[in-house]
């Protein structure tokens, strides 16, 4: 493997990771869905006479959660950033990109083929494990995790397919110049 190929793979990964992170942050900031543990964290004042949809909450919690050193202001801002799951999007981007990378770099000999499939399975399983763990801590709804997973997967496929097209077209243009 040449230094140029390592550089290209690293650059494609960094570009995809940055794009994935940018899209996730923009979606989190614009959608602003409440986290599942919002009521427990906020302890809002309940007005039983209101029959309309409640858009403003007056949180009564004045002390941060025991064991967490996060200021309440940051905690209340973070409560509205459930959709999509950032951990799921990053985990699935990493898993899909690395799976495709392993698939393209493993030798095609029969001995290494099983090892390649095993490595790919472990990488994908670890990405899925991270996604499942996001629902276990009650900080995300299942749809947040699904959306984050799809976002990370789509960005990874976009980056991989773009990288392959760039390599194909750069190879064609080099052949035309040399002949």
Note if 37 is an active site residue.
no
- The one catalytic residue in 37, 140, 141, 171 is 140
Note if 141 is an active site residue.
no
- Closest alpha carbon to 124 in 90, 158, 86, 91: 91
- The one catalytic residue in 37, 87, 141, 171 is 87
| Residues acting as catalytic residues | 87, 140
């Amino acid at each position: 493997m040449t230094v140029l190929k390592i550089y290209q793979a690293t650059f494609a990964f960094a570009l995809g990771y940055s794009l994935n992170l940018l899209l996730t942050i923009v979606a989190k900031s614009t959608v602003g869905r409440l986290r599942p543990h919002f009521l427990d964290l906020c302890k809002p004042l309940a007005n039983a006479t209101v029959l309309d949809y409640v858009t403003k909450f007056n949180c009564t919690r004045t002390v941060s959660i025991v064991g967490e050193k996060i200021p309440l202001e940051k905690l209340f801002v973070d409560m509205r950033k459930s959709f999509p799951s950032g951990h799921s999007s990053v985990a699935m981007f990493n898993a899909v990109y690395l799976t495709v990378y392993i698939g393209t770099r493993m030798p095609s000999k029969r001995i290494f083929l099983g090892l390649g499939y095993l490595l790919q399975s472990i990488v994908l399983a670890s990405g899925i494990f991270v996604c499942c763990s996001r629902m276990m801590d009650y900080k995300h709804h299942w749809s947040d995790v699904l959306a984050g997973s799809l976002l990370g997967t789509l960005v990874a496929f976009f980056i991989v397919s773009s990288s392959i097209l760039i390599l194909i077209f750069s190879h064609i243009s080099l052949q035309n110049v040399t002949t």
